[in-house]
Amino acid sequence: MFKANDPCWCGSGQKYKRCHRSPEQQLRPGALSPMRTVPEGIVRPDYAETGEPIRRPEPRIKSPEIIERMRRAGFAAAEVLELGAAAIAPGVTTDEIDAIVHQAYIDRGGYPSTLNYRGYPKSLCTSVNEVICHGIPDDRPLVDGDIVNLDVTIFLDGVHGDTNATYGVGNVDEHSKRLIEVTRQCLALGIAAVVPGRPFSDIGRAIETHALAHKYDVVRAFVGHGIGEQFHTDLQIPHYFEPRMDVVMETGMVFTIEPMISMGTGQHRIWDDDWTAVTADGSRTAQFEHTVLVTETGVEILTQIQPG
């Protein structure tokens, strides 16, 4: 057994009792607030009442008119993410961030895409420390030294814009800072691999190569996805090299790239809430996401406030 003051087995360099991978430091499910409501005037996606999206064929190559709407949704998503991020501080609960983000979608005339999507109960995902993705906002106050991902998706003008980023809370240890920076670089390298005529597998190769060079692992269970009038279309974009992924990128395609990178294993477990995905070994993970458009010359990031 590890004694409280021994260095942690995980190599973080911290005392075991303080290390995020010691059992007493691991995250636990919190309590949820009642489901938030959306004003009548806001146009809802088909699943808003039933919880089940209706699958329908949707062209992979978007029309100029849809692309224009996706630019607006992407820009709005980026603004909402920035507003949510500004609220991050020690002592703030993830539910308080949910409330801010929920209102920010509505202020822009949008619907929170995640709300009742396959029954998901909240308006964004908040994934803390060892949570890989799909963390549900609850009554846990953020703690100094946490890392937290905010994943924001807006349904605006009939289309979705999906983006996320990971932030430090207060003073964060050097290992976690490095994880966040390498993951940010993984997304940038994945985006740089978007070139019309090239296979989708180029994206995963660029991401995986960078993660492995830093002795990190890529989470394989969750992938990027086609997006448009539907939140998730059939197109899948792995964040690791998958040579069978021979589909070719074409001008006009819109999809997300959203690498999840782990300090330890990329294997995951799902909590009893059926949503929260955590690393199997409790190590911290980070994620960044953009919605991108393949252009004639390369790529346009739709979910950013600076155009281009």
For residues 41 and 280, what is the distance between their CA atoms, to the nearest angstrom?
Answer: 43
Structure-token pair, residue 265: 């294993």
Q: Which of Co ion, ligand MF3, none does residue 120 bind (CB under 5 to 8 Å by kind)?
A: ligand MF3
Please state the closest distance from residue 257 (CB atom) to Co ion, in A. 9
Q: How many CB atoms lie within 10 A of CB 307?
A: 9
Is residue 115 within the footprint of Co ion (CB under 5 A)? Answer: no
Nearer to Co ion, 10 or 48 (CB): 48
User: Which chain residues interact with ligand MF3 by CB under 6 A?
Assistant: 114, 117-118, 120, 125, 134, 151, 153, 162, 225, 256, 258, 275, 289
* Rg of the chain over all Cα atoms, to the nearest angstrom: 19
Please state the closest distance from residue 153 (CB atom) to Co ion, in A. 5
Please state the closest distance from residue 114 (CB atom) to ligand MF3, in A. 3
For residues 123 and 135, what is the distance between their CA atoms, to the nearest angstrom?
Answer: 11
Binding mask 259-298 toward Co ion (x if CB under 5 A, else -) reads ------------------------------x---------
E strands, 158-243, in order: 159-168, 217-218, 224-225, 236-237
Alpha-carbon distances of 6 from 18, 27, 173, rounded to whole Å: 10, 21, 18
Pick the piece of the chain touching Co ion (CB under 5 A) from 109-117, 166-174, 176-184, 255-263.
255-263
Report phi then psi at 6, rounded to 5: -70, 155
Is residue 242 within the footprint of Co ion (CB under 5 A)? Answer: no
Nearer to ligand MF3, 12 or 291 (CB): 291
E strands, the chain, in order: 111-112, 125-128, 131-133, 147-156, 159-168, 217-218, 224-225, 236-237, 254-257, 260-262, 268-270, 277-279, 285-287, 290-294, 299-301
Please state the closest distance from residue 296 (CB atom) to ligand MF3, in A. 26
Binding mask 128-157 toward Co ion (x if CB under 5 A, else -) reads -----------------------x------
Tell me which residues touch Co ion (CB under 5 A). 151, 162, 164, 256, 289
